[in-house]
Amino acid sequence: MLTITKENIIPYLKEHMPDFDDSGSVTVSQVGDGTPEEDGDGYVNYIFRIHTDKGNYVLKQGRELARTGQDPIALYRNKLEYDSMRIRYAIVPEYTPFLKFQDKENNLFVMEDVSNLRIVRFQLNKNRMFPDLGRKCGECMAKTEFYTSEYFLSRDEYRRLQTKFANTEMRKIMEDGAFMDIFKTEVERGLGEEFNNFARGIMYDPRFETERFKLRRNFMSHADALIHADLHTSNIFASEDAMKVIDMEFSFMGPFGYDLGYLTGNLVSQYCAACFKPFPSEAERREFKAYLLATIKSLFESYFKTFTECWNQDAKERYQGAGGLCHSILDEVMQDAPGYAVIVNWFRCTGEIEYPDFDVIENLEDKRHAQTLSLMIDWQLMFQRYQFMSVDDLIDTVLYVEEEYRKTL
């Protein structure tokens, strides 16, 4: 396998990408050389930016050994990511980077560089708001899921997707990493023994564990649609008026509403951080917190509205008029997605992966409050979710726990 480097990338592209034009000025950089705000965090692949007068591209190469970490990961992930992106581009081109070229043999592909937009996580960390983010993400998820489900595709197409996106290796990372023994890592996060005991208490509570296993069961067995499966805020680029999703190597046929819950988990973390991180003024804190809740609300509402519209317009003949089924699917999503949000918020709060959403809080006492509040919200959401009729109930639960927590301060 050819290893792409900053030195050989231009000759490589000239040879392999027919319309690559380096006649003007050309710059090459490797992702990871810059700051997390520019380059994201936690990535495992080898990624290069190539800027020319004719266009800006990103080349992503998967190697067996990740950029960080010692364990080899399946190489096929790069091909699956390309295929997932291609499908998503066919459904929601406005939210997907354009694909230029693929080299299967060398486990790489080239796509449009979307870094004219910004990585959402690091902007939220700086209290920057993207007004339409929730609506766009909800629409993107609902369309991708509906048009890759059996409610739209022929049975054969749907089964082919299931076979193609088995993605056993990558799924395993989430099945175990997100839903299982994260706390065994016993990370020292400087939040004190009290926090660790509190987190352990939740982790090993048999009632909480049962809920975790129930969600994991759905994650492992409900092959509803092609999901992204790692849709956190570092994998979303946005500006005032645009939004693009990247990084699809975890993609597989999973449950409706998983991505919705996953992203909500990050937004809940941001909300808890916003309760305790420093702001220039209390008015700005209030505004930002309200923005986060409004984003969760529009995310869910847009998902539900879009899914229903897609169903009404494009469901296969046998499902036309079967509005009851569509309702029942969305009722299930309303109960499961908050559960997935809990899983994400919980594993990022208690796991070993760094979590910039909370790491921006320098004062350890405030950070401990933010993360403890997060875990308390997780507890409530996990058990209350069965009563949720709409996203308003989810938001009310978050507000209720925050209010109760404040009383203890």
Binding site for ligand ADP (CB under 6 A): 31, 39-40, 43-45, 47, 58, 60, 97, 111-115, 119, 234-235, 246-247, 249
Looking at the Cβ atoms of 109 and 379, the one nearer to ligand ADP is 109
Q: 218 vs 266, 308, 360, 394, CA distance in Å?
A: 20, 22, 33, 20
Rounded Cα distance, 404 and 409, in Å: 9
Q: Does 43 bind Mg ion (CB under 5 A)?
A: yes
Query: What's the distance, CA 270 to chain centroid?
Result: 14
Query: Minimum distance from CB of 349 to Mg ion (Å)?
Result: 19
Least separation in angstroms between CB 114 and ligand ADP? 4
| Position 247 contacts Mg ion (CB under 5 A) | yes
31 neighbors 40 (Cβ within 8 angstroms)? yes
All residues at 6 or more sequence positions from 156 whose CB lies less than 8 Å from its CB, including other chains: none
Q: Are 365 and 336 in contact (CB under 8 A)?
A: no
Q: Taking the complex as a whole, how short is the minimal distance between the CB of residue 30 and ligand ADP, in angstroms? A: 10
Residue indicated by tokens 């929730």: 134
- Which DSSP state fits 364? H
Taking CB atoms, the residue at the shortest distance from ligand ADP is: 40
84 binds, among ligand ADP, Mg ion, none (CB under 5 to 8 A by kind): none
Residue 211's φ and ψ, nearest 5 degrees, are: -65, -40
Pairing state between β 108-112 and 99-103: antiparallel
Closest to ligand ADP by CB, 111 or 382: 111
Q: How far apart are CA 149 and CA 225, in angstroms?
A: 5
Interface mask toward Mg ion for 191-230; x: CB under 5 A: ----------------------------------------
Number of residues in contact with Mg ion under rule CB under 5 A: 2
Q: Which residue is nearest to Mg ion (CB)?
A: 247
Q: Which stretch binds Mg ion (CB under 5 A): 42-50, 88-96, 133-141, 171-179?
A: 42-50
103 vs 247, beta carbon nearer ligand ADP = 247
Q: How far is the CB of 124 from Mg ion (least distance, A)?
A: 16
Hey, what are 157's tokens?
Answer: 């197409």
Structure tokens at 8: 């050989």
44 binds, among Mg ion, ligand ADP, none (CB under 5 to 8 A by kind): ligand ADP
Q: How far is the CB of 189 from Mg ion (least distance, A)?
A: 22
Nearer to ligand ADP among residue 12 and residue 379 (C-beta): 12
Q: Please state the closest distance from residue 41 (CB atom) to ligand ADP, in A.
A: 7
CA distance 220 to 106: 30
User: Buried b vs exposed e over 392-403: b needs ≥16 C-beta within 10 Å?
Assistant: eebbebbeebbe
Q: Which is nearer to ligand ADP, 61 or 306 (CB)?
A: 61
Show the beta-strand stretches assigned E in 280-367: none
Q: How far is the CB of 261 from ligand ADP (least distance, A)?
A: 20
Residues within the interface to Mg ion (CB under 5 A): 43, 247
